Amino acid sequence: MALIVQKYGGTSVGTPERILNVARRVIATKDAGNQVVVVVSAMSGATDSLIKLAKEISPNPSERELDVLLSTGEQTTIALTAMAMNSLGCKAVSMTGAQAGIVTDGFHTKAKIANIEPRQIHSHLDDGNVVIVAGFQGETSEGHITTLGRGGSDLTAIAIASAIEADLCQIFTDVDGVYTCDPRIVPTARKIDEICYDEMLEMASSGSKVMQSRSVEFAKKYGVLFEVRSSFNQNPGTLVQEETKDMEHVVVRGLSVEKNQAKVTITNVPDRPGTAARIFTTLATTGVIIDMIVQNVSTAGTTDISFTLNKDELPKVEASLASVIIEIGAAALIATQGVAKLSVVGIGMRSHSGVAAKLFEALSNAGINIQMISTSEIKTAVILDESKITEAANVVHAAFGLDKS
Amino acid sequence: MALIVQKYGGTSVGTPERILNVARRVIATKDAGNQVVVVVSAMSGATDSLIKLAKEISPNPSERELDVLLSTGEQTTIALTAMAMNSLGCKAVSMTGAQAGIVTDGFHTKAKIANIEPRQIHSHLDDGNVVIVAGFQGETSEGHITTLGRGGSDLTAIAIASAIEADLCQIFTDVDGVYTCDPRIVPTARKIDEICYDEMLEMASSGSKVMQSRSVEFAKKYGVLFEVRSSFNQNPGTLVQEETKDMEHVVVRGLSVEKNQAKVTITNVPDRPGTAARIFTTLATTGVIIDMIVQNVSTAGTTDISFTLNKDELPKVEASLASVIIEIGAAALIATQGVAKLSVVGIGMRSHSGVAAKLFEALSNAGINIQMISTSEIKTAVILDESKITEAANVVHAAFGLDKS
């Protein structure tokens, strides 16, 4: 008998009929001899409707009260899911985040899980119940309702799996798992059977938004084995786990593509201590997420500093840096839109040379110009013209043999 | 400075705009120098939508889970109301039933309040907040969410007023207060300024459904002073309180009318111990609420037993009593639909004779036949032909001078 946590997202529980389907899946897992804890999101659209209601009251609703409001979305789903289980003859009990012992800090609308007290979950499991827990929510140690922000239900599932020492955590979603590349871009992309946390993190932070990075980071930190799979079919998904020796034999695990990027270059930055810090502390105050940062060696006492970001954030960045450029004595800020990022990810590249060379050669053979390069231990990323990104992804995917099983 | 509990029903909080109006009313009460606890219902229609959703999952949803589901209705309103207060510049904090310390028994969908631990309410009040509490809900001492059934939000307000020793509990509704009779039936009916618990109970149990009897009984038991008034205007309402000496000067406080009644007579019931018990224990198992019961003296060793009930329940009663009539050796069951009940209520009638005589005379002068009579210490009720009930209410209302202030 295994102890399994299953998480179903908003699309999987979007209608009463789909909730009944989820219930049947859970019962099949239980009937196979397992104990099951189910984590559910709000029905798709429910959270948006609640936010709309709040905005009719106030353009800037109190965050404490927004959490009280939004948490009703998942509470509705747990009740309906438990009813569905019961109506199909299976013992099940719903639990809100607070009831399930999920204790968070007090940062409303983006709280972090501080601790889980799984005593009540265990007690209901011991009574033979499937336990249905509301994702995305918890309460502070003072008893205020909180929500965990984007990707919060995945995080709830991973954190509960850790707290109850589950054998496996299954994240059910609307895709079959993690792919070698987005199949809408590379039609020959294949589903990856297993991937280690660090690779998953690099894929997630590079645009393959199967899961939010924070959930993967949490799983890595506490060693939670999890599987990403589809709630609409029975195909096995992608297993995400600690890295094993075997994994290194695959040099490149997958590619990820991020569109809608912009590139900013600040030219002729005087090469003295503090200028880069001045630029990036200013950017930090804007809350804009900066991705790649590249600075090359200095010539004639100045250097160029480039970075990339989501192109929607460009106006904010240009406004905030205008005075900084004058202050530090740089020449100009050159912003380029219409670029995209292609990342090659794999823990095997740590011990195999030639990945960058093969990447550059594949792009060169296709006549695609590289505008920026950035590397980490298990990732090599390039910035390209956005109009070339589909062609680039396909030639690189083929060059690394990712289309062959 | 007074401590005031205000309760707003589903119609009063039915839209974001109405919630903002409620918030303004509450702020006016606070600005007048009071501490305020607000109890709110679900927005009108919300509970019905949730029940509809549950029925799409299962025709007989689990009652535990129905409570988890339905409690989101009030939770939505408390969040929106607190947001509205905050957006208007007033400190306010929402609390679910569980957070407010409302502990109930475990009878899901119709739980009874066992205890209120008002420590958290006091703590928020001490911090200068208006406290917004979800009506209709609580939790068991084991932490399961419960709901209180019909009229539950009124009960929450009265019970909190008692627990925090409030100076006054105001029940805001869509009528101006308790009337001498339903103004749709008697156009000259007047609002009653003050009424004692027992009179209010007789009015409530006789069809004047301004409030459920259980809330009035709770208020009586714990001596909670409350006022029933309209949320749509500033008129003072009806004060409900302990009986005072002054109140006895008014012999009749009001009339109440109950339509859609049926009368059942079981004829020639053998006059021996146990026959009445046999009939009414059988009725008790059906769950049908029996109202008036009348048995007259026995002649020739048999008697007739009559009772009234809501006419919709008649088929259930006829089916359940069919075999009992044969068993006890009674002659027949005669069911009459199309009857209505008129009750004259007032604590003053305890010390004034002639109320029944004046009632019968007024009906007689109008040529209206009395089918059944039943009296209690502060009420005289008659069963009449339903087609005569409007005329009867008007002549009796005038006969007791209720149309004069």
Q: Report the gap between the CA of B154 and the closest CA in chain A (Å).
A: 22
Q: Which residues of chain A neighbour B75 with C-beta distances below 8 Å?
A: 68-69, 71-72, 75
For strand B194-196 and strand B102-104, is the pairing parallel, antiparallel, or unpaired? unpaired
Query: CA of B100: which chain A residue's CA is closest?
Result: A143
Model pLDDT, residue A83 = 98
CB contact under 8 A, B93 and A54: no
Last residue of a domain, one of A174, A198, A226: A174
3-state SS, one letter per residue, for chain A: CCEEEEEECCCCCCCHHHHHHHHHHHHHHHHCCCEEEEEECCCCCHHHHHHHHHHHHCCCCCHHHHHHHHHHHHHHHHHHHHHHHHHCCCCEEEECCCCCCEEECCCCCCCCEEEECCHHHHHHHHCCCEEEEECCEEEECCCCEEECCCCHHHHHHHHHHHHCCCCEEEEEECCCCCECCCCCCCCCCCECCEEEHHHHHHHHHCCCCCCCHHHHHHHHHHCCCEEEEECCCCCCCEEEECCCHHHHHCCCCEEEEEEEEEEEEEEEEECCCCHHHHHHHHHHHHCCCEEEEEECCCECCEEEEEEEEEHHHHHHHHHHHHHHHHHHCCCEEEEEEEEEEEEEECHHHHCCCCHHHHHHHHHHHCCCCCCEEEEECCEEEEEEEHHHHHHHHHHHHHHCCCCCC
Model confidence at B320: pLDDT above 70:
yes
**pLDDT tens, residue by residue, B118-171:** 999 999 999 999 999 999 999 999 999 999 988 899 999 999 999 999 999 999
For residue B187, being part of any structural domain is answered with no
Residue among B212, B242, B258, B216 at smallest CA distance from B347: B242
Residues A161 and A301 in one domain: no
Do B199 and B253 contact (CB within 8 A), yes or no?
Answer: yes
Are residues B288 and B170 part of one domain?
no
Q: Which residue of B has its CA nearest to A61?
A: B83
Q: Distance from A129 to chain B by nearest Cα, in Å?
A: 14
What is residue A352's predicted lDDT score, i.e. its pLDDT? 81
How much is the average pLDDT of B339-362? 91
Q: Quick one: average pLDDT of B348-373?
A: 91
CA count, 13 A, side-chain hemisphere, A124: 24
The 3-state DSSP class for residue B156 equals helix
Res B206: pLDDT: 60
pLDDT of residue A373: 92
pLDDT at B300: 82
For Cα atoms B261, B264, B269, give the angle at the middle one, nearest 5 degrees: 160
Give the domain-ending residue among A174, A209, A239: A174
Q: Which of A69, A75, A120 sits opposite B68 (nearest CB)?
A: A75
pLDDT band at residue B53 under the 50/70/90 scheme:
very high
Task: Kindly state whether residues B168 and B279 are assigned to the same domain.
Answer: no
Q: Is residue B67 part of a domain?
A: yes
Provide the pLDDT confidence category of residue B208 given band limits of 50, 70 and 90: low
Looking at the fold, whether A167 and A279 belong to one and the same domain comes out as no
Q: Do B29 and B161 sit in the same domain of this protein?
A: yes
Same domain? For B149 and B259 the reply is: no
Looking at the fold, whether B7 and B151 belong to one and the same domain comes out as yes
The CA distance from B66 to the nearest CA of chain A, in Å, is: 7
If one counts every other C-beta atom within 10 angstroms of the C-beta of residue A226, the result is 27
Among chain B, residues having any CB pair with chain A shorter than 8 Å are 16, 19-20, 50, 53-54, 56-58, 60-62, 64-66, 68-69, 71-72, 75-76, 78-80, 82-84, 86-87, 93-94, 96, 99, 120, 143, 145
| Residue A17, domain member (yes or no) | yes
**E strand or H helix at B380, and its extent?**
strand B379-385
Considering its fold, how many domains does chain B have in total? Answer: 2
- Would you call B83 and A69 a contact, using CB atoms and an 8 Å cutoff? yes
Residue B244 — pLDDT band, cuts 50, 70, 90?
A: confident
Cβ-contact B335, B263 below 8 angstroms: yes
**Is A149 in the same domain as A273?**
no
User: Is residue A193 one of the residues assigned to a domain?
Assistant: no
Contacts B61 to A, Cβ<8 Å: 83, 86-87
Nearest to B83 among A54, A87, A93 (CB): A54
Domain of A378: which CATH number? Answer: 3.30.2130.10
Residue B20 within any structural domain of the chain: yes
- B405: pLDDT confidence band, cut at 50, 70 and 90? low
CB B201 within 8 A of CB B216: yes
Residues of B in contact with A53 (CB under 8 A): 16, 76, 80
Is residue A340 one of the residues assigned to a domain?
yes
Instruction: Name the domain boundary from A124, A148, A174.
Output: A174
Contact in structure between B132 and B81 (CB atoms under 8 Å): yes
Q: Please say whether the beta carbons of A227 and A169 come within 8 A.
A: yes
> Does B269 lie in the same domain as B160?
no
Could you tell me if B269 and B127 lie in one domain? Answer: no
Mean of the pLDDT values across residues B333-356?
91
Split at pLDDT 50, 70, 90, the class of B205 is low
CB contact under 8 Å between B57 and A93, yes or no, is no
Which domain covers residue B112, as residue numbers? 3-174
User: Residues of chain A whose pLDDT is less than 70?
Assistant: 205-209, 405
A123-178 pLDDT, tens per residue?
A: 999 999 999 999 999 999 999 999 998 889 999 999 999 999 999 999 999 889 99
Cα dist. B403→A26, B247, B345, B363 in Å?
66, 17, 15, 17
Closest CA to B161 of B118, B123, B201, B127: B118
Report if residue B60 sits inside a domain: yes
- CATH label of the domain that carries residue B97: 3.40.1160.10
Does the interface ipTM go beyond 0.95? no
B193 within a domain of the structure (yes/no): no
Greater confidence (B340 vs A298) lies with: B340
Comparing CA positions, the residue from B96, B103, B107, B95 lying closest to residue B142 is: B103
* Same domain membership, residue B381 and residue B265: yes
Residue B268, pLDDT above cutoff 80: yes
What is the pTM for the complete model shown? 0.86
Q: Do residue B21 and residue B145 come from a single domain?
A: yes
Question: How many CA atoms, within 13 angstroms, populate the side-chain half-sphere of residue B123?
Answer: 11
Residue from A17, A71, A76 to probe the interface with B (highest B Cβ count within 10 Å): A76
